[in-house]
Every structure is written in C-alpha cells, then in structure tokens.
C-alpha cells in the first residue's frame, strides 16, 4: 500500500487543515511567486546533471591525479634490486682484457699468434673436460 492510499491520522488531518487555512490567507502575488519557485525547482530537479568528472575545469586535476596513480603503481610493482645474477668467468676475463690498456696495445701491435695459440689451448682444455 502506498503512502497516498493509507488513511490519515488525526494529527495529519489537523495539520492539513491548518496549512490549507494559512494558504488561503496568503495574497495572490506571494502565492504566484511561490508557485514559480516551485516550478523552477521541479525543472532543475528533472534536468540531467552533468558528471563532475566531465567538467573541463576538472580535467587538468584529474589528469595529474591519474598520472600520479600510474607512477605509484609502476614504482610499487617494480622488483627490488636484490642479488645480481652470477657472471660467467669468461666474460669477466674479457672485461679485464678490455680494461687493461697494455693488453689492447699488444693486440693492436700484431701479437695475434699468441692469442690464437691461447684460444686453441682453451678449446683443447674444454674438449678434454667434457
């Protein structure tokens, strides 16, 4: 049962009578202004509201907030540095060779036969180990 269909109590009947009597005492000009205000309020309530996030004034702030959230998520999901992976000893020797200026001079001066012999020895040792 809806509220309009329910029977009125004694209090509701007396309140209604008092309000109707007061409405009859209001002059026509005031009654007209109240009616216009009522209609304006009803139209404003029925009008579709524009979402706050679609407002152009809020776009820069919303963009900055979205960027800050994106950065925070990216930093949060980043793996910690932790331990470094083990380095192959051959790569360490190659890096030491590149870092040593005298060794580079030997390679550039044409002592390639020694390095060819050393590489052959290394390959021979590797073949005998496996």
Q: Residues 6-33: what's their mean pLDDT?
A: 90
Whole-angstrom distance, CA of residue 102 vs CA of residue 111: 12
Q: What percent of the chain has pLDDT over 70?
A: 65
**HSE, side-chain direction, 13 A CA sphere, residue 60:** 1
- Answer positive or negative: Cα dihedral of 100, 102, 103, 108: positive
pLDDT at 77: 74
pLDDT at 113: 75
Q: Residues 58-75: what's their mean pLDDT?
A: 85
pLDDT at 50: 72
Q: Residues 106-126: what's their mean pLDDT?
A: 75
Contact 112, 118 (CB under 8 A): no
Q: Name the residue ranges covered by the structural domains of the chain.
A: 10-46, 90-129
Residues 6+ apart with CB under 8 A from 59: none
Contact 103, 97 (CB under 8 A): yes
């Amino acid at each position: 049962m809806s509220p309009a269909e329910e029977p009125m109590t004694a209090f509701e009947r007396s309140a209604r009578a008092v309000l109707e009597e007061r409405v009859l005492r209001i002059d026509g000009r005031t009654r007209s202004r109240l009616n216009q205000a009522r209609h304006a309020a009803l139209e404003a309530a029925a009008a579709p509201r524009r979402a706050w996030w679609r407002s152009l004034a809020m776009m820069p702030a919303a963009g900055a907030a979205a960027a800050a959230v994106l950065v925070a998520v990216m930093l949060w999901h980043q793996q910690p540095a932790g331990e470094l992976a083990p380095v192959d000893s051959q790569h360490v020797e190659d890096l030491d060779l590149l870092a040593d200026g005298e060794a580079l001079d030997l390679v550039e001066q044409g002592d390639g036969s020694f390095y060819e012999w050393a590489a052959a020895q290394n390959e021979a040792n590797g073949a005998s180990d496996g």
